[in-house]
Amino acid sequence: MENNSNLNRQLSQLYKEQSGKVLATLVRLVGDFELAEEAMHEAFSVAVESWAKKGIPTNPTPWLISTARFKAIDSLRRNKRFSELETDIQQLIHELEEYNQEIGQQEIEDDQLRMIFTCCHPAIAPQIQIPLTLREVCGLSTEEIASAYLVSPSTMAQRIVRGKNKIKQTNIPFVIPQKSELSDRLDGVLSVIYLVFNEGYAASNGDSLLRVDLSNEAIRLARLVLSLLKDSEVMGLLALMLLHESRRYARTDGDGNIILLENQDRNLWQQAYIDEGTALVQQAIASGQVGSYTLQAAIAAVHTQSTNTTDWEQIIALYSLLLQVEPSPVIELNLAVAIAMRDGAKAGLNIIDSILASGKLQEYHKLHSARGELLARSGQITAAIAAFEQALALVKQAPEQRFLVQKLAQLKSQ
């Protein structure tokens, strides 16, 4: 019984980590999402019985792909008698039967790149691209994705089905675009990868701040894209994620409570990620083509290099440049906080109040939280309490809720 329980745990972890890779290769082989998913699930079912007797193979992913391949052939033959199959279906079965059972890691990774570009095709609505990528590339369940988007599983399932149908109806190919087409597709792909990372780095809702599986998956996907295209913004995105991820173990305490950057134990930061991220930033800047991801990574690099004092002058300069490259009220808010750190709370408050006056970010809890902090630092306790209470009313993430409750308790006790 204990051995079966251990096998089930290992299979569950394997499904979480490898199902996206298995599915990507199967979709390329059979050209159909539904058939590929059905075959993949059958392969995992076979694995439960087979591996209980023989043990888990050294390379389980190729084993699963090979088993699923045969299941797909069986399914095709069941749906219609082989003698009556159309020529193209017969050819597909023939190709599947001759497909090399030994599948290389590079081939699997190439298939995932194909899947990423397929899910992020311009013909698919942007609001569907991310859930589709989370489901088909990252292997998240429909329930997990629905929770992140605060919708019902049935609603999310409909969105994902619409994405799959769009791929089928418009014959979107499962290919890596030609270099001439990459520039038109790259922005969408990078945006999706970064949003996957953000959901893992600071989950939008729920009991845990961190979804390590998602942040690691996003970093892995960015590495895949970089292996395809040595673009400065791909470098910038990978650097940004590495530099953020370097602080993973210092961002929360043992109870999952948030620890602000200024209070983090820097001995817990992962230096290897910092070194790699900083080197990528330097390489991206040296290319002469600096975009928003590279500038954000440069800001993160300044924070990781700071010891006793932060170089707010440099951070302000980088945020000012970023605001020109990508005008955004969120970037304006971050600039306001940096200015407050250099020039005092009042200087930052003036900018934040002007953002609110323009009607922007009124439902963004981090703006109200930042405003509350600056009000508290300037001695305006009553106003600070009101700002933090407004932030608390908007936040959906449990550790951030606890952080705000603690801030309010401290202020009310003064």
pLDDT at 346: 95
Every domain of the chain and the residues it spans: 1-103
Contact 189, 116 (CB under 8 A): yes
Q: Whole-angstrom Cα distance, residue 285 to residue 174?
A: 33
Q: Is the pLDDT of residue 362 over 50?
A: yes
> Encoding tokens for residue 53?
């007797």
Q: Whole-angstrom Cα distance, residue 245 to residue 219?
A: 9
Q: Whole-angstrom Cα distance, residue 95 to residue 73?
A: 10
Contact 245, 237 (CB under 8 A): no
Around 125, how many Cα atoms within 13 Å sit in the side-chain half-sphere?
Answer: 11
Highest-scoring range by mean pLDDT, 95-104, 174-183, 206-215, 393-402: 393-402
pLDDT at 321: 95
Q: Which residues pair with 397 in a beta bridge?
A: 206
Contact 226, 269 (CB under 8 A): no
Burial of 322 (0-12, 13-18, 19+ CB in 10 A): buried
Q: Is the pLDDT of residue 1 over 80?
A: no
The band of 286, judged by pLDDT with boundaries at 50, 70 and 90, is very high
Instruction: Give the closest residue to 212 by CA, choosing from 223, 189, 196, 226.
Output: 196
Q: Is the pLDDT of residue 203 over 60?
A: no
Least confident of 92-106, 337-351, 373-387: 92-106
End-to-end CA separation in angstroms for the chain: 58
Residue 59 zone, left/alpha/beta (φ > 0; ψ -120 to 50; rest)? beta
Q: Whole-angstrom Cα distance, residue 282 to residue 212?
A: 26
Looking at every residue in the chain, the average pLDDT score rounds to 83
Q: Is the pLDDT of residue 290 over 80?
A: yes
Q: Is the pLDDT of residue 322 over 60?
A: yes
Burial of 254 (0-12, 13-18, 19+ CB in 10 A): exposed
pLDDT tens-digit readout, 23-73: 888 887 777 788 888 888 888 888 888 888 888 888 788 888 888 888 887
Region 333-338 average pLDDT: 96
Q: Is the pLDDT of residue 215 over 70?
A: yes
pLDDT at 347: 96
Residue 49 zone, left/alpha/beta (φ > 0; ψ -120 to 50; rest)? alpha
State percent of the chain over pLDDT 90: 37
Highest-scoring range by mean pLDDT, 41-50, 57-66, 203-212, 287-296: 287-296
Q: Whole-angstrom Cα distance, residue 378 to residue 404?
A: 18
pLDDT at 238: 97
> Encoding tokens for residue 170?
């418009």
pLDDT tens-digit readout, 260-274: 888 888 889 999 999
Q: Is the pLDDT of residue 96 over 70?
A: no
Q: Is the pLDDT of residue 319 over 90?
A: yes
Q: Is the pLDDT of residue 245 over 60?
A: yes
**How many Cβ atoms sit within 10 Å of the Cβ of residue 200?**
22
Q: Is the pLDDT of residue 138 over 70?
A: yes
The band of 206, judged by pLDDT with boundaries at 50, 70 and 90, is very low
Q: Is the pLDDT of residue 307 over 70?
A: no
For 28, 175, 230, the CA distances from 88, given in Å and listed in that order, are 15, 19, 38
**How many Cβ atoms sit within 10 Å of the Cβ of residue 113?**
21
Around 265, how many Cα atoms within 13 Å sit in the side-chain half-sphere?
Answer: 7
The band of 88, judged by pLDDT with boundaries at 50, 70 and 90, is low
